[in-house]
C-alpha cells in the first residue's frame, strides 16, 4: 500500500515523498510503514524508505516509547503455531532500536483465552525487553469468562473502573482506555458512561498545548463497523480532546497498520506480534490470515513512537519483525 | 367489528401455519436420527443457521469451527456459554416456547436467534 501511495503522489509540498491528500487517505498495510512527525498539530510524514535521510532530531525525541499489540499467547493454529517465538522476535526488535524506548504500551489481547499461564508467558518474555515498564489495556481476549477480574488483578493497579487510567511523561499526557467490556449484541466496542465522565474530568485541567496520547484496544475510529472494527461512543471521547493541538490515538485489534488523520487527531493501529488479519472486507471474516511461513514475520511488527518536547511532535514508526 | 375479528383469526392461522412448516423441516434436515437435538455451526464469524426454528424440548448444540474463540450468550440472559475454543461445543435445551436472540459477547456483530414453538 505504501508503494501504491507513493505512486499516486500529486503534491509533495513537504518534500517528504508522500502526497498530503494521498497520505490522509493512506492505510499503511502491514509490512510497510510511515514515520509521522506532528508539529503544533500539523502533521509531517515520511515514508519508511526515507528514514535514512532524516536527521536524528527529526526521527528521535526526548521521549521514546514502543507499542506492541495482540500477542494472543496461547494461539496455536496454522496462521502462527509459535506466537511465543514471534513475541520474542518483537522483543529483539525493541532491544535493537537506536533510541532506547523508556517504556512499552501493550494495546491488548495479551492472551488468547485469558488463561493464567498465557499471561505468565507474556510477562516472562517481556522481562527480556530493555524497557521494563509496560502499560496495558485489555483486549476482548483478556477478559473472557471473568469480566476482566484477572486482568485487573495483574495489570490494573491504580486504575479506575474497568481498568482505565492516565499518566504523564515529560509533558505528554497518556490515557489508557478500555473499550472491550459489556459489549452489546450487534454493537461495536464501548467505552461507557462512567469512563467518558472520568475522561472529561481527567483532561479538564490540562493546557491545550499538552500533547495527548490515547491508547485502547479496539480502534477509536470507524475502520470497518461490519466486522466490529470501531467503538460506539468514541465520538464523545474525541469531543473531550478537541481543544488539544496534538492528539495521537494508538489502537490494536485489527492486526494490521492503518492510519488516519482527522483535524488535530492522528489515529494509528499497530500490527500484531502473533498473526495477521485480512484487509477490511477482503475476506469472508476477520479471522486469522495464513501466509506462507517465510512471509509471516513481514506481516507482524512493533510500533515505535517518539515525542519531541517543546515541538509537540510525535513520530510514529512501524517496523515489521522480518 | 365482526369483519376485523375474522381477519385476526386468519392472520393467526397463517402465522401458526408458517411456523409448523419451517419448524420440523429444520430439525429433520440437521438431525434426522435424533429429532430432539439440532446443531448450529459457528463458521467465519457467523452462526449457521442464523435463525433456527425448533419444537419445545429441543436441545441445540453450537460448535465453534473457527480458529478464534467465540461465545453463545442469550441477549435476555436465558443462557450463556463459557468461551468456546476451536471445536468446543455448548448445548442448551429449550423447554419453553418463545424467541431467543443471542450473540457472541467477544464479537457482538455475530448474532442469531432460536425460535421455539
Strand runs labelled E in A218-292: 247-251, 258-262, 265-269
Q: How far is CA A198 from each of CA A135, A208, A232, A264, B81, rounded to the nearest angstrom?
A: 19, 18, 17, 22, 32
Instruction: Yes or no: say if A113 and A82 are a contact pair by the CB < 8 Å rule.
Output: no
| pLDDT, tens only, B93-113 | 999 999 999 999 999 999 999
Residue of B76 and A1 predicted with greater confidence = B76
CA distance B72 to chain A (A): 11
Per-residue pLDDT of chain A (322 residues; tens, 9 = 90+): 333 333 333 333 334 343 433 333 333 332 334 444 444 333 344 444 444 455 555 545 567 889 999 999 999 999 999 999 999 999 998 898 877 788 999 999 999 999 999 999 999 999 999 999 999 999 999 999 899 999 999 999 889 888 999 999 888 899 999 999 999 999 999 999 999 999 999 999 999 989 999 999 999 999 999 999 999 999 999 999 999 988 999 999 999 999 888 888 989 999 999 999 999 999 999 999 999 999 999 999 998 888 766 555 577 878 888 8
For an interface test with A, the pick among B46, B68, B74, B75 (most A C-beta atoms closer than 10 Å) comes out as B68
**Residue A317: predicted pLDDT:** 78
CA A154-A155-A157 angle, to 5 degrees, is: 100
Candidates B66, B86, B101; nearest CB to A185: B101
Cα B95 from Cα A114, distance rounded (Å): 33
Helix A116-126 and helix A83-95, axial crossing angle in degrees, nearest 10: 30
Judge: A79–B105 Cβ closer than 8 Å, yes or no: no
**Residue A39, helix vs strand vs coil:** strand
Question: If residue A126 lies in a helix (H) or strand (E), which one and from where to where?
Answer: helix A116-126
CA A258-A263-A269 angle, to 5 degrees, is: 15
Q: What is the DSSP string of A68-100?
A: E----BT--STT-S-HHHHHHHHHHHHHT-SS-
Is residue B28 within 8 angstroms of chain A, CB to CB? no
Is residue B74 within 8 angstroms of chain A, CB to CB? no
C-alpha neighbours within 13 Å on the C-beta side of residue B74: 16
Q: Phi-psi region for residue A193, left (φ > 0), alpha (ψ -120 to 50) or beta?
A: alpha
Structural domains of chain B ordered from first start: 24-116 (2.60.40.420)
Judge: A186–B103 Cβ closer than 8 Å, yes or no: yes
How far is Cα of residue B51 from the mean position of the Cα atoms in its chain? Answer: 5
C-alpha cell at A161: 473502573
Q: What is the dihedral sign for C-alpha B105, B106, B109, B112?
A: negative
- Average pLDDT in chain B: 80
| CA-closest candidate to residue A14, choices A48, A34, A44, A41 | A44
Phi, psi (deg, nearest 5) at residue A102: -80, -30
**Residue A312: predicted pLDDT:** 54
> Which distant-in-sequence residues (6+ apart) come within 8 Å of A308 by Cβ?
A37, A57, A61, A62, A314, A315
**Residue A45: predicted pLDDT:** 40
C-alpha cell at B10: 386468519
Nearest residue on chain A to B82, alpha-carbon basis: A145
Nearest residue on chain A to B73, alpha-carbon basis: A185
Beta bridge partners of B92: B60
Residue recorded with cell 535514512: A52
Phi, psi (deg, nearest 5) at residue A259: -140, 145
> Which distant-in-sequence residues (6+ apart) come within 8 Å of A259 by Cβ?
A26, A27, A28, A34, A36, A266, A267, A268, A269, A316
| CA-closest candidate to residue B41, choices B2, B84, B75, B8 | B84
**Residue B9: predicted pLDDT:** 40
CA distance A223 to chain B (A): 14
Judge: A185–B86 Cβ closer than 8 Å, yes or no: no
CA distance A77 to chain B (A): 7
- Measure the N-to-C terminal CA separation of chain B; round to a whole number of Å: 30
C-alpha cell at B52: 433456527
For the beta sheet containing A258-262, the strands, ordered from the edge strand earlier in sequence to the opposite edge, are A165-169, A172-176, A212-215, A247-251, A265-269, A258-262
Cα A249 from Cα A105, distance rounded (Å): 12
For an interface test with B, the pick among A285, A288, A289 (most B C-beta atoms closer than 10 Å) comes out as A285
**Residue A200: predicted pLDDT:** 98
- Please report the ipTM that was assigned to this predicted complex: 0.79
Instruction: Yes or no: say if A280 and B40 are a contact pair by the CB < 8 Å rule.
Output: no
**Residue A174: predicted pLDDT:** 95
**Residue A125: predicted pLDDT:** 97
Instruction: Provide the percentage of residues in chain B whose pLDDT is more than 90.
Output: 68
Cα A206 from Cα A212, distance rounded (Å): 10
Judge: A285–B45 Cβ closer than 8 Å, yes or no: yes
Rounded to two decimals, what is the model's pTM? Answer: 0.80
Structural domains of chain A ordered from first start: 59-320 (3.60.21.10)
Instruction: Yes or no: say if B95 and B56 are a contact pair by the CB < 8 Å rule.
Output: yes
Amino acid at each position: 500500500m505504501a508503494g501504491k501511495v507513493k505512486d499516486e503522489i500529486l503534491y509533495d509540498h513537504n518534500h517528504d515523498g508522500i502526497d498530503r491528500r494521498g497520505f490522509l487517505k493512506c492505510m499503511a498495510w502491514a509490512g510497510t510503514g510511515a514515520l509521522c512527525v506532528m508539529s503544533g498539530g500539523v502533521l509531517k510524514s515520511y515514508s519508511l524508505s526515507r528514514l535514512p535521510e532524516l536527521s536524528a532530531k527529526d526521527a528521535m525525541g526526548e521521549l521514546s516509547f514502543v507499542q506492541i499489540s495482540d500477542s494472543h499467547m496461547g494461539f496455536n493454529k496454522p496462521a502462527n503455531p509459535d506466537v511465543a517465538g514471534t513475541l520474542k522476535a518483537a522483543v529483539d526488535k525493541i532491544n535493537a532500536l537506536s533510541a532506547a524506548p523508556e517504556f512499552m504500551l501493550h494495546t491488548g489481547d495479551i492472551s488468547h483465552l485469558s488463561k493464567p499461564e498465557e499471561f505468565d508467558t507474556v510477562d516472562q518474555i517481556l522481562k527480556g525487553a530493555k524497557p521494563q515498564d509496560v502499560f496495558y489495556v485489555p483486549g476482548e481476549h483478556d477478559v473472557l469468562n471473568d469480566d476482566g477480574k484477572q486482568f485487573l488483578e495483574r495489570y490494573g493497579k491504580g486504575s479506575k473502573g474497568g481498568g482505565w487510567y492516565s499518566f504523564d511523561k515529560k509533558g505528554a499526557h497518556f490515557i489508557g482506555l478500555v473499550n472491550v467490556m459489556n459489549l452489546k449484541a450487534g454493537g461495536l466496542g464501548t467505552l461507557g458512561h462512567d469512563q467518558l465522565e472520568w475522561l472529561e474530568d481527567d483532561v479538564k485541567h490540562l493546557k491545550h498545548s499538552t500533547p495527548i496520547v490515547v491508547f485502547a484496544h479496539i480502534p477509536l475510529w470507524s475502520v470497518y463497523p461490519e466486522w466490529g472494527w470501531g467503538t460506539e461512543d468514541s465520538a464523545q471521547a474525541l469531543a473531550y480532546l478537541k481543544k488539544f493541538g496534538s492528539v495521537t490515538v494508538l489502537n490494536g485489534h485489527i492486526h494490521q497498520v492503518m492510519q488516519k488523520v482527522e483535524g488535530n487527531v492522528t489515529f494509528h493501529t499497530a500490527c500484531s506480534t502473533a498473526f495477521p488479519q485480512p484487509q477490511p472486507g477482503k475476506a469472508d471474516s476477520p479471522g486469522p490470515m495464513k501466509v506462507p511461513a517465510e512471509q509471516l514475520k513481514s506481516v507482524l511488527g512493533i510500533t515505535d513512537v517518539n515525542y519531541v518536547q517543546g515541538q509537540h511532535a510525535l513520530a510514529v514508526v512501524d517496523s515489521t519483525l522480518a | 367489528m365482526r369483519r376485523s375479528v375474522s381477519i385476526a383469526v386468519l392472520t393467526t392461522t397463517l402465522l401458526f401455519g408458517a411456523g409448523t412448516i419451517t419448524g420440523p423441516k429444520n430439525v429433520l434436515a440437521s438431525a434426522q436420527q435424533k429429532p430432539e437435538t439440532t446443531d448450529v455451526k459457528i463458521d467465519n464469524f457467523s452462526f449457521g443457521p442464523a435463525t433456527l426454528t425448533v419444537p419445545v424440548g429441543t436441545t441445540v448444540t453450537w460448535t465453534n469451527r473457527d480458529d478464534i474463540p467465540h461465545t453463545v450468550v442469550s441477549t435476555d440472559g436465558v443462557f450463556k456459554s463459557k468461551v468456546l475454543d476451536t471445536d468446543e461445543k455448548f448445548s442448551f435445551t429449550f423447554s419453553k416456547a418463545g424467541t431467543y436472540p443471542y450473540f457472541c459477547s467477544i464479537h457482538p456483530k455475530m448474532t442469531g436467534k432460536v425460535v421455539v414453538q
